[in-house]
């Protein structure tokens, strides 16, 4: 089953053709990062306008690279939420028009299910049941995956998402958008001992639960910078970035390990933009040693792309999920499960 998929939930306009949830026949991503960088974050209205310009050429390019015309695909899939409403509407409208014009079934895919499905493309070994740690700009969650279209929530953030915290902390440290990779680079320049750092930050976990809370960690970084300013000192930005990253990662690892222990499952997948973070990968490897296996998507599938949407749609179809009709609407929020 060849699925043409479209993703436009944030600042990437992406299209792909994926066969049977696995074989990527083509994948095209038009990133708007450079456009939004000067504003320090994604400007929703500008994102929508650029999606409108890009979606046609990106879809055409995905079909051309797969050596197909619209007639040759079996279904269309599109991210309908969660994300920026105006941005999502561009992909949803375009996908509905394609499905109507070519008389193809249409799958409405949750962005979250897309991120989870990214690991199916990369790893044959990943099969339910397992646990997924989803860490993106919009979500931080631990999900139990009992079937390809069967998820339950084991932990979530009470406030900010992990990626959002990286982006906000990067901003106050004067780093460009998106902040995650910039924090990682700046943190790598700190060569001292983290345990001896003068910066002490709160771990982003909610005691007695497997939920996360990133807003206190973010505020603590802002307070460190303000205190330094009030004392007329120059903050050690690299050290602060390193301590922030370490603390954020420690919280994610702590809850992930707790959930693996309580469920007794042996496979953990990590998905979403923050899964690109190498310190997170290293510390999860240490936390998992001898207890469970950890899988990550390749870097190109960690951040937003349409391959994962095509893969998720395939698993929706084999699980018997209903197709969408032309009343499909975009949705800024969709439930995690």
Helices (H), 66-137: 85-102, 111-122
Q: Which residue, 127, 157, 151, is CA-closest to 293?
A: 127
Contacts of ligand KG4 in 118-147 (CB under 6 A)? 136-138
* Choices 128-136, 147-155, 209-217, 254-262 (CB under 5 A): range interacting with Zn ion: 128-136
Residue 166 binding: pick among Zn ion, ligand KG4, none (C-beta 5-8 Å cut-off by kind)? ligand KG4
255: Cα separation from own chain's centroid: 18
Q: Which helix (H) or strand (E) holds 332?
A: none
d(CA 315, CA 231): 57
State the minimum distance, in angstroms, from the CB of residue 144 to ligand KG4: 20
User: Any residues with CB less than 8 A from the CB of 191 and at least 6 apart, and which?
Assistant: none
For the chain, how long is the longest CA-to-CA vector? 67
**Interface pattern 308-337 for ligand KG4 (x via CB under 6 A):** ------------------------------
Q: Is the dihedral of CA 31, 36, 41, 46 positive or negative?
A: negative
Residue 274 binding: pick among ligand KG4, Zn ion, none (C-beta 5-8 Å cut-off by kind)? ligand KG4
40: contact with ligand KG4 by CB under 6 A = no
Could you give the 3-state DSSP secondary structure of residue 225?
A: helix
Residue 211 binding: pick among Zn ion, ligand KG4, none (C-beta 5-8 Å cut-off by kind)? none
Residue 155 binding: pick among Zn ion, ligand KG4, none (C-beta 5-8 Å cut-off by kind)? none
Rg of the chain (C-alpha set): 20
| Nearest CB to ligand KG4, comparing residues 155 and 273 | 273
d(CA 274, CA 290): 24
**Interface pattern 261-280 for ligand KG4 (x via CB under 6 A):** -----------xxx-xx---
Residue 247 binding: pick among Zn ion, ligand KG4, none (C-beta 5-8 Å cut-off by kind)? none
Contacts of Zn ion in 282-311 (CB under 5 A)? 304
Interacting residue with ligand KG4 among 120, 166, 244, 292 (CB under 6 A): 166
Beta bridge partners of 81: 110
CB 95 within 8 A of CB 9: no
CB 116 within 8 A of CB 312: yes
**Interface pattern 175-214 for ligand KG4 (x via CB under 6 A):** ---xxxx--x------------------------------
The CA-atom distances, in angstroms, between 85 and each of 13, 89, 229, 232 are 14, 6, 38, 43
Interacting residue with ligand KG4 among 7, 160, 211, 304 (CB under 6 A): 304
Residue 184 binding: pick among ligand KG4, Zn ion, none (C-beta 5-8 Å cut-off by kind)? ligand KG4
| Nearest CB to ligand KG4, comparing residues 99 and 244 | 244
d(CA 64, CA 69): 7
136: contact with Zn ion by CB under 5 A = yes
State the minimum distance, in angstroms, from the CB of residue 48 to ligand KG4: 16
Interface contacts to ligand KG4, rule CB under 6 A? 10, 136-138, 163, 166-167, 178-181, 184, 272-274, 276-277, 303-304
């Amino acid at each position: 089953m060849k699925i043409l998929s479209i993703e436009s939930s944030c600042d990437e306009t992406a299209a792909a053709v994926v066969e049977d949830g696995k074989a990527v026949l083509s994948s095209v991503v038009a990133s708007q990062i450079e456009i939004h960088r000067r504003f320090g974050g994604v400007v929703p209205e500008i994102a929508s306008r650029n999606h409108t310009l890009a979606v046609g050429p990106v879809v055409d390019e995905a079909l051309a690279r797969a050596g197909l015309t619209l007639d040759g695909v079996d279904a269309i899939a599109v991210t309908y939420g969660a994300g920026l409403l105006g941005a999502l509407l561009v992909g949803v409208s375009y996908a509905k028009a394609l499905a109507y014009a070519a008389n193809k079934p249409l799958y409405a895919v949750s962005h979250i299910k897309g991120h989870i499905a990214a690991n199916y493309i990369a790893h044959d070994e990943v099969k339910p049941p397992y646990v997924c740690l989803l860490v993106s700009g919009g979500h931080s969650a631990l999900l139990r995956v009992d079937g390809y279209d069967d998820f339950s929530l084991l932990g979530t953030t009470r406030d900010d998402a992990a990626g959002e915290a990286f982006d906000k902390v990067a901003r106050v440290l004067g780093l460009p958008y998106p902040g995650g990779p910039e924090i990682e680079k700046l943190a790598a320049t700190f060569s001292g001992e983290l345990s001896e750092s003068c910066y002490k930050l709160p771990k982003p976990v909610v005691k007695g639960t497997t939920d996360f809370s990133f807003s206190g960690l973010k505020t603590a970084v802002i307070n460190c910078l303000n205190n330094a300013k009030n004392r007329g000192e120059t903050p050690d930005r690299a050290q602060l970035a390193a301590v922030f990253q370490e603390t954020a990662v420690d919280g994610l690892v702590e809850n992930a390990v707790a959930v693996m222990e309580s469920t007794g499952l042996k496979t953990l997948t990590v998905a979403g933009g923050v899964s690109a973070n190498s310190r997170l990968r290293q510390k999860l490897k240490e936390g998992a040693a001898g207890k469970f296996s950890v899988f990550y998507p390749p870097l190109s599938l960690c951040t937003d792309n349409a391959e994962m949407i095509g893969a998720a749609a395939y698993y929706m179809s084999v699980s018997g999920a209903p197709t969408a009709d032309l009343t499909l609407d975009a949705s800024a929020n969709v439930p995690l499960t």
